[in-house]
Amino acid sequence: MGRVNIFRHTRAFWLFVAPCLILFSIFFLLPLLLSIGFSFTNYDGWKRADFVGVENYAVIFRDVNFFGALGRTFGYTLFSLPFKVIFPLLVALLVISPRVAVKNAARTMIYIPVLLSALVVGITINWMFSQEYGLVNFLISRIGFKPLEWALNPVLAMFVISFASNWASLGFYMIIFIGGLNIIPRELYEAASIDGANGVNAFFRITLPMLRPTMFLAILLSTINLLKEYALVQGITQGGPGLRTTYIIQYIFDKGFKQMQYGTASAISLVVMVIFGVIAYLQYRVNKGGEVL
């Protein structure tokens, strides 16, 4: 009888897990295996697929455009990452504060951009920052300043992409921080208040240490999403001006779908996957997995 129960539990387990395993295999494992195979060929996406060994990898590490795209990706990530964490945390603190009214309405309004397609967000932000007809330049000209060339200046173009990314994801990370804030015991703040601690002291000595697991999750997710930013860039600058906002995913896309060098694009993807994995591991080690101090 015991074996029958064990078999039933095991069968039920695999029936529940099977859909996830099937989808994971089709949309991750199979493409990964194909990408590994293509990275050792000169596959052109149609007929040619001759084995070339590690030639694609040698080409990558001799390509200055690869390192340029990777450097721009890291620069964009480092520039945007603090805003991905600080702004959602501040907003989360505001919307759970007892002094703020209509909390549910505020949370809903802030979360709505998360539901929009990244390409839609990119096109909308591109319209707002358009040099000739954009809302932002209209407001700038109304107060007496010269309109800015958002799309032609590399620094301004990166700022626009970062602004769009942070605006679109603000609600998502706000929800994460709200969850982290709500599980902090209220007794800690009451005890700190009795000891004479003000709000600022309580934030730095209680809230931030207790939010380490949530902070680690937000930083990890933000880093990964910024490193693989694509749709927003396509909707706003399409990699311009020149190559100044061409990040590593745009570079891979260009190699594969525009230059028809699928073998090289596959090799780049694998190299980038390893780099991203190392970055995630280093973040885990530095943050000790978000362990509360």
Residue ranges of domains in the chain, CATH in brackets: 62-290 (1.10.3720.10)
pLDDT of residue 291: 66
pLDDT band at 4 (very low <50, low <70, confident <90, very high): low
Residues 272, 252: contact at Cβ < 8 Å? Answer: yes
Which pair of tokens denotes residue 142?
């109304």
**Rounded distance between C-alpha atoms, residue 275 and residue 260, angstroms:** 24
pLDDT band at 193 (very low <50, low <70, confident <90, very high): confident
Q: What is the pLDDT of residues 244-285, one digit of tens each?
A: 899 999 999 999 988 999 999 999 999 999 999 999 999 888
Per-residue pLDDT at 75 exceeds 80 = yes
Q: What is the pLDDT of residues 30-73, one digit of tens each?
A: 999 999 999 999 998 888 889 999 999 999 999 999 999 999 99
- Angle at Cα 276 formed by Cα 115 and Cα 38, nearest 5°? 95
**Rounded distance between C-alpha atoms, residue 222 and residue 56, angstroms:** 30
Q: What is the pLDDT of residues 134-153, one digit of tens each?
A: 899 999 999 988 989 888 88
* 198-213: average pLDDT: 90
What's the distance, Cα to Cα, between the start and end of the chain in Å? 48
Which pair of tokens denotes residue 167?
């605006």
